[in-house]
Amino acid sequence: MKLGVIGSPIEHSKSPEIHTNFANQFDLDLVFEKYLVGKDECLEWVKSFFESGGLGLSVTLPLKEVVLEIADDISLRAKQAAAANMLFLKDGKIFADCTDGLGLVTDLKTKEIDIFNKKILILGAGGAAKGIVPSLLNGNPKQVIVANRTPEKAIELVAQIQELGGSQLKSSILMPSSLTLDNLENTSFDLVINATSASTLADQNLEVDSSIFKGAAAALDLYYSQTDTLFMQMAKEQSVAKVYDGWGMLVEQAAESFSQWTGFKPDTSGLLESRGA
Greatest pairwise CA separation for the chain in angstroms: 56
118 is catalytic: no
Residue 22 DSSP class: H
Candidate list 2, 34, 39, 64, residue with the active-site label: 64
For residues 114 and 163, give the distance between their C-alpha atoms in angstroms, rounded to a whole number. Answer: 26
CB 110 within 8 A of CB 117: no
Residue type, 190: D
Query: What phi and psi, each to the nearest 5 degrees, are found at residue 147?
Result: -115, 135
- Classify 59 as helix, strand or coil: strand
Residue type, 123: L
Q: Are strands 2-7 and 56-59 parallel, antiparallel or unpaired?
A: parallel
- The catalytic residues are 64
